[in-house]
Chains A and B, each alone.
Chain A
Amino acid sequence: MTPNLRPSSSGGQSEQLSTDHLLGIQDLSAEDIELIFRTADGFKEVLARPIKKVPSLRDITIANLFFENSTRTRISFELAEKRLSADVLNFSSSSSSTKKGETLIDTVNNILAMKVDMVVMRHPDPGAALFLSKHVNARIVNAGDGTHEHPTQALLDAYSIREKLQKVKGVKVLIVGDILHSRVALSNVHCLKKLGAEVMLCGPTTLMPRHAESLGVRVEHDLDKALRWCDVANMLRIQLERQGSDGISNFPSLREYAMLYGLDEERYARIGKPITIMHPGPINRGVEITSGIADHAESIILEQVENGVAVRMAVLYLLAARIPRPQ
């Protein structure tokens, strides 16, 4: 029987994502992002119910492949999958055969041989998710590939801005910190630009990619000036594990970084207006932001974590909707 593809007579919106995989924000249209947000609104309501589970993905199996350490993204995805009733497989690099010399494609194909429909993957190499999507028969969700993209983080950040300020278009968003090593920053820039926000990047010259302006954003090195400009400040984590990988330290000391690019209550008071504080976590308290700022009334850091589950549910649900039913 052919599926009936006419729109719902009862007024439901007949829309799907334009892509089979979520590899990066670059592949999404503004309509895709709006659809993800609308769907996430529904899941946010589900997560407030006494029973926080829906049966939509009960015939879908999802493998979480984490070839790089992650706690919050992995548990956020795992919870999202379980709330959708999917079957979940977890696989992390510490226990993986890649350590024994197996290639990525072989590892993944071995897992797919067990009839897995979707793969959520974090990998240290940029482009790993794209590579996988071209070589294996499963839907791929990029949960971070090296310094390239981290699309679900950008989606949940923009969703949280939309929730707090009721809009994203026209909002002035400042991204502060280690832009050079940050996949969160890159995905955020793409996502916010697609939704019509204005974006400014701020950080020391050594942590700012050359030609950053070519992304269509402003670049500022004076944090106080940048803070006065913005409505929302997203304070990125200093990625201590990625500093000095080329033998050269990117800044003299954490203390100096905190003095110039950290946000504390005194600096916040000098802005002279309330701005929304965001942080993708995990926080180095006292470096990017002080405890007072992390727990500030204008901070939406915990809302970001909460929204992360709803947004990831929306992404998985909408991608699963494109998997054909077995005939």
Chain B
Amino acid sequence: MQALTLVEGRAFELTLQRLCHQLIEDHGDLSGTALIGLQPRGVLFARRMKLELERIQTDTAITYGELDITFHRDDFRHRPVTAPSGTTELDFNLDGKRVVLIDDVLHTGRSIRAGLDAMLSFGRPDSVQLMVLVDRRFSRELPIQPDYVGKWVDSIDGQRVKVEWQGTDGRDRILLLTSDDREGVVPPSRSTSVDA
């Protein structure tokens, strides 16, 4: 088993802090901002960002939602994932909001496209930005770029990036896994990858 740890510990903390401050620098007091985490793994990052932001800006209530993109994916009938992987909790209208979509790993961009599509069922935001903890650049299949990036990772086909969280996985870290290490992995093909 070979798993390379890319970021952990203090560096991980600092990355989250930096993203918070970048967001505040752009958005001010966040009163017109809505953070939306994408199910299933993006919400773990988004929940953590919400906590960190609340710690930094104690006087502002953060507008926060979670979005499941299952029914908006472009690979329906291409692969057998069918039931929703998480729930959508978005009880506010997006009209006039500055939305920040949050996901853990950006890879092909297809999940984000589905997320944009799903998000538009909730109104017409003033603007939409994308925050990711990991950007696997050079692997995009759609013209989608992030506005806030925790870490750029250059990886090859067959590798996978996994983000683990203290609350769910026991510790905060970003891992680079190679396909040989994982069971049941199908030979790599960019167009069929399911990361982000």
Which residues from chain A sit less than 8 Å from chain B, CB to CB?
1, 3-16, 35, 38-39, 41-43, 45-46, 49-56, 317-318, 320-321, 323-325
The binding surface of chain A is classed by DSSP as loop
A–B complex contacts, Cβ < 8 Å, 10 sampled: A8-B81, A12-B81, A14-B81, A42-B70, A46-B88, A46-B121, A51-B121, A54-B118, A55-B71, A56-B72
Option from A4, A38, A51 in Cβ contact (under 8 Å) with B79 = A4
Q: A1-B192, A4-B192 are in contact. Are A323 and B77 (CB under 8 A)?
A: yes
Smallest beta-carbon distance B91→chain A, Å: 9
Q: CB distance A10 to B121 under 8 Å? A: no
Q: Tell me which residues across on chain B come within 8 A of A5, comparing CB atoms.
A: 79-80, 186
- Give the dominant DSSP class at B's interface: loop
Nearest-neighbour CB distance to chain B for A117, whole angstroms, equals 11
Contacts across chains A and B counted by CB atoms under 8 Å: 113
Contact present for B192 and A321 (CB under 8 Å): no
The answer to whether B122 touches A49 (Cβ under 8 A) is yes
Contact between B93 and A50 (Cβ–Cβ < 8 Å)? yes
Closest to A9 in B: B194
Given A10-B40, A10-B85, answer yes or no on A320-B77 (Cβ-Cβ < 8 Å). yes
Closest to A6 in B: B186
Measured between beta carbons, the chain B residues less than 8 angstroms from A4 are: 78-79, 186, 189, 192-194
Query: Do B80 and A15 touch (CB < 8 A)?
Result: yes
- Bound complex: CA of A103 vs CA of B134, how far in Å? 60
- Do residues B82 and A39 form an inter-chain contact, with CB atoms below 8 A? yes
Q: For chain B, residues 174 to 196, give those with C-beta under 8 angstroms from any C-beta of chain A.
A: 184-186, 189, 191-195
Q: What residues on A are CB-neighbors of B118 within 8 Å?
A: 54
List, in ascending order, chain B residues with CB within 8 A of A55's CB. 71-72, 117
- Contact between B195 and A41, CB atoms less than 8 A apart: no
Q: Determine if B135 is an interface residue (Cβ-Cβ < 8 Å).
A: no
CB-CB < 8 A to B40: which residues of A?
Answer: 10-12
**Distance in Å: Cβ of A258 to nearest Cβ of chain B:** 43
In the bound complex, residues from chain A placing their C-beta under 8 Å from that of B193 are: 4
B122 touches A41 (CB 8 A): no
| 5 tightest A-B CB contacts, nearest first | A4-B192, A42-B84, A12-B85, A54-B71, A51-B121
Chain A residue at smallest Cβ distance from B188: A4
Determine the distance from Cα of A15 to Cα of B194 in the docked complex, in whole angstroms: 16
Number of interface residues of B (CB under 8 A): 36
Docked-complex contact A50 and B122, CB < 8 angstroms = yes
Name the one of A3, A9, A49, A56 contacting B121, with C-beta atoms under 8 angstroms.
Answer: A49
* CB-CB under 8 A for A15 and B41, given A42-B68, A50-B121, A54-B71: no
**Are A9's CB and B84's CB within 8 A?**
no
B115 to chain A, nearest CB (A): 13
Cβ-defined contact, B84 with A321, below 8 A: no
Specify the chain A residue showing the minimal Cβ separation from B120. Answer: A51
User: When the two chains form the complex, which single residue of B76, B78, B87 contacts A41, counting CB atoms closer than 8 Å?
Assistant: B87
Which residue of B80, B85, B120, B122 has the most chain A CB atoms within 10 A of its CB atom? B80
Q: Are the CB atoms of A325 and B85 closer together than 8 Å? A: no
CB distance from B193 to the nearest CB of A (A): 8
**Interface pair A13/B191, CB less than 8 Å apart:** no
- For the complex, what is the distance from the CA of A41 to the CA of B192, rounded to whole Å? 27
Question: Which B residues lie within 8 Å of A11 (CB)?
Answer: 40-41, 85
Of A10, A38, A45, A324, the contact of B83 (CB 8 Å cutoff): A38
How far is A15 from B185 in the complex, measured between Cα atoms in Å? 18
Contact between B83 and A15, CB atoms less than 8 A apart: yes
Known: A14-B81, A39-B82. 17 other contacts (CB 8 A): A1-B191, A4-B193, A4-B194, A6-B79, A10-B85, A10-B194, A11-B85, A13-B81, A13-B85, A35-B83, A42-B88, A46-B121, A50-B121, A51-B122, A56-B72, A318-B82, A320-B76
Q: How far apart are the CA atoms of A83 and B131 in the complex, in Å?
A: 30
